[in-house]
Amino acid sequence: MAARVDFVVAESAAKGTAPVRVNQVALEFAGKTTAPIRLSAAFTEAAAKGIAPLRLAFIAIETLVQIESPPTVSTEKFPLSPGLTWGVHVSPKFNTRVAGHVSGREIRTAWQQYAIYEFTLSFDVLRGNTTQEIETLMGFFLARQGQYDTFLLDLGAVTQNTADSYVTMGAQGTGDGTTTVFTLMRTVGEASEPVAYVFSADFSAVYVAGVLQDPTSYTFTSPNTLTFNTAPTSGSQITATFRYYFVCRFAADAQDFEEFMANLWTLHEVKLITVLP
């Protein structure tokens, strides 16, 4: 089977003896109809059998074979018990492509604008018997089906830092006389990023140029969209007050719960990963 290498996108119509065209990825194609396609620089291996078409753009792969839509965001909240212990690890992570040159110079490409967070929690004691803290947490994990389902995390309750859960008159943008829709943001030092989920009941107030707005002049829609009936005037600062949550999933499909005494359990480490809105 012929393989032609270009420079930008890989596209394979894996039907019979169809050729494979490759752009931008280093592709090794091992031979005939049912042979797997191995990609260098992409975490992908496609056993391209039968009539399943495959299209590859840069590093992301999309296989058009009965792929389900991603699940909607669950509003279930991660259960925090008194056994939650210190320390707590909060690890923001970006995805940057760095291409070096023999001259020592380099080109950097940011693949994502906002960080993905990884939270690492520990529970020293989870009580069983009548309290059933262990059943609550284990049952929550089982109901999420490991990594599959999302849930909400009140990070402020974990870190004991109210800024991790609440925004008070936080900057949401600047009016231009045209824009009516704004995404709710939180500020961390000199950075700003969208908040993941806000319940309507937790959205308290909106200010334009420091003036409290009548609730009938705007609409808030969960998870994080603020829509004005009339666009704020150009140059006016928009601020808002609300409580927010991080949308997370479990980082693994398995958890190790240990019973170290009768009806006393521990979970040494559980990792949660945020899902971008």
pTM (global) more than 0.85: no
Average per-residue pLDDT in the chain? 81
For residue 78, name the pLDDT band (cuts at 50, 70, 90).
very high
Query: Cα angle at 126 between 120 and 129, to 5 degrees?
Result: 155
Which three-class secondary structure state does DSSP give residue 215? helix
The one-letter code for the residue type at 129 is N
Q: For residues 67 and 150, what is the distance between their CA atoms, to the nearest angstrom?
A: 18
179-235 pLDDT per residue, tens:
999 999 999 999 999 999 999 999 999 999 999 999 999 999 999 999 999 999 999
Question: CB neighbours of 158 closer than 8 A, spacing ≥ 6?
Answer: 80, 84, 88, 119, 121, 164
The whole-angstrom distance between residue 127's C-alpha and the CA centroid of its chain comes to 31
Give the single-character DSSP code of 114: S
The dihedral over CA atoms of 147, 150, 154, 156, expressed in degrees to the nearest 10, equals 60
| Three-state secondary-structure class, residue 135 | helix
pLDDT in tens, 79-123: 998 889 988 999 999 999 999 999 999 999 999 999 999 999 999
Structure tokens at 184: 């709710």
Q: Hey, how many other C-beta atoms are within 10 angstroms of the C-beta on 271?
A: 15
Q: Does 156 score more than 50 pLDDT?
A: yes
